[in-house]
Structure 1
Amino acid sequence: MFVQIIQGGLAADRAELKEALDRWERELESSAEGWLGTTAGVTDDGTFIGIVRFASVEAARRNSERPEQHRWWTETSKLFRGEVTFHDCTDVDLMMDGGSDDAGFVQVIQGRIRDLEGLRAYLRDMDEQALRGFRPDIIGSITAYHADGGFTEAAYFTSEAEAREGERSQPPQEMRDEMDKMMAFYEGEWTYLDLREPWLSSP
């Protein structure tokens, strides 16, 4: 899987951007070979983030090279203020069921990783069933690793209310110990982007 992260401050009304994304689905989706889906939304402070999934980097490149795609982005980019950043991620992991178009709330987490290979080895051994039992509100997640050592993770929840309730739950000591071990693979602070009204689409 290949993931492109698109992020920027919104200058227009979010409804205008939503219409632009809807127009892409109506007019361009059918010819976007290898497109697997999009998770997008706007935070309370007007930050847009889009997580676009393709079957391969080659499929994503073919899509971006289409003249109609270029025209669509030229118009859509006018809805942003300042620079729009892109991260092209060929290294992607799914947890549990990955993403879901049925999610009622998506939290995007961004930060930096100290030891990627160690983290991935740890995650391979993680007891997902125990996590499901403790946090049934979590549907799954998609993590895309940036070339510069950063990461973007989209965590999908049944609803924001259930996610907040789950956050307040006290995990068992064994699970807390495991979480402490996991945090050693990261560095610095994390940034959280809450998509209270996520825009979710797939073929």
Structure 2
Amino acid sequence: MFIQVIQGRCSDEAALRGHMDRWMEDLSPGADGWLGGTYGTTDDGTFVGIVRFASREAAARNSLRPEQGAWWEQVSRCFEGEVAFHDCDDVILMLDGGSDDAGFVQVIQGRVEDAPRFREFMSQPMDGLREARPEIIGGTIAIDDDGFFTETVAFRSEAEARAGEAKEMPPEIADEFDREMEQVKDLTYLDLHHPWFATRAPA
């Protein structure tokens, strides 16, 4: 799987949603290799889109379509300033992966010093985390070439997420996570209180 993260300050969320709906209706049928996406805007107006493709090549083919370029020209007017793109071949599915049933998504971003080590840690079975934090549906982790990562964590509701945060993790799990987080720098959290989703329908 390949993930492209799109991020920028949105000046017109309603218009952006309209463009996204039109993409699903008119452009998604021709987007070969597009799998789906998780989208949302934070309280301060930062839009984040985590778009999943079967491969980097599929994402590149989509970007080169004339209709995609015309669509993006309109979408770009919904942003203030530059829009950042992070292309990530290194993708990890956490627990059950993302879910279109989520009512709240927390996006965590940062930079890791040792990406292979981080991938190995996050790819291990997480039965302990599943038991300690049952409110977590799952998530995705996308790491770009310079170690910048974007993690999505899906919850059924924000209330369940906040209640889970208040619980103490079992010491053995907490110690393991704390050791791994020592290599994470510049950590930020982006809360998507009203996320929306798109997934390609099964053929």
TM more than 0.5: yes
Give me the whole-angstrom Cα distance separating, in 1, the residues matched to 2:60 and 2:32: 10
- Which consecutive residues of structure 1, in runs of 5 or more, have no partner in the other structure? none
- Which consecutive residues of structure 2, in runs of 5 or more, have no partner in the other structure? none
Give me the whole-angstrom Cα distance separating, in 2, the residues matched to 1:74 and 1:66: 13
Give me the whole-angstrom Cα distance separating, in 1, the residues matched to 2:94 and 2:153: 9
Could you tell me which amino acid in structure 2 is paired with residue 140 of structure 1?
A: G
TM-score of the pair, normalised by structure 1: 0.95
Match of 2:135 in 1: 137
Q: Does 1:201 align with 2:161?
A: no
Aligned residues: 200
Which deviations, in whole Å up to 9, do the C-alpha atoms of 1:19-78 show, x marking residues without a partner?
110110011011111111010110000000101000011111111111110000001101
Q: Does 1:35 align with 2:4?
A: no
Moved over 3 A (4+): none
Give me the whole-angstrom Cα distance separating, in 2, the residues matched to 1:130 and 1:77: 43
Q: Does 1:192 align with 2:184?
A: no
Q: Does 1:70 align with 2:69?
A: yes
Give me the whole-angstrom Cα distance separating, in 1, the residues matched to 2:55 and 2:67: 20
C-alpha RMSD over aligned residues? 1.1
Q: 1:50 to 1:124 in 2, by over 3 A?
A: closer
Give me the whole-angstrom Cα distance separating, in 2, the residues matched to 1:143 and 1:124: 10
**SS of the residue aligned with 1:170?**
coil
Which deviations, in whole Å up to 9, do the C-alpha atoms of 1:98-125 show, x marking residues without a partner?
1111111100011000111222222344
Give me the whole-angstrom Cα distance separating, in 2, the residues matched to 1:4 and 1:95: 17
Q: Percent identity?
A: 55
Q: Does 1:4 align with 2:4?
A: yes
Deviation at residue 196 of structure 1 after TM alignment:
0.5
Contact in 2 for aligned 1:118/1:185 (Cα 8 Å): no
Deviation at residue 147 of structure 1 after TM alignment:
1.7
Give me the whole-angstrom Cα distance separating, in 1, the residues matched to 2:122 and 2:142: 14
Contact in 1 for aligned 2:92/2:123 (Cα 8 Å): no
TM-score of the pair, normalised by structure 2: 0.95
Deviation at residue 141 of structure 1 after TM alignment:
1.2
Give me the whole-angstrom Cα distance separating, in 2, the residues matched to 1:200 and 1:79: 19
Could you tell me which amino acid in structure 2 is paired with residue 62 of structure 1?
A: R
1:39-188 alignment, distance < 5 Å: 39-125=38-124, 127-186=125-184, 188=185
Contact in 1 for aligned 2:93/2:123 (Cα 8 Å): no
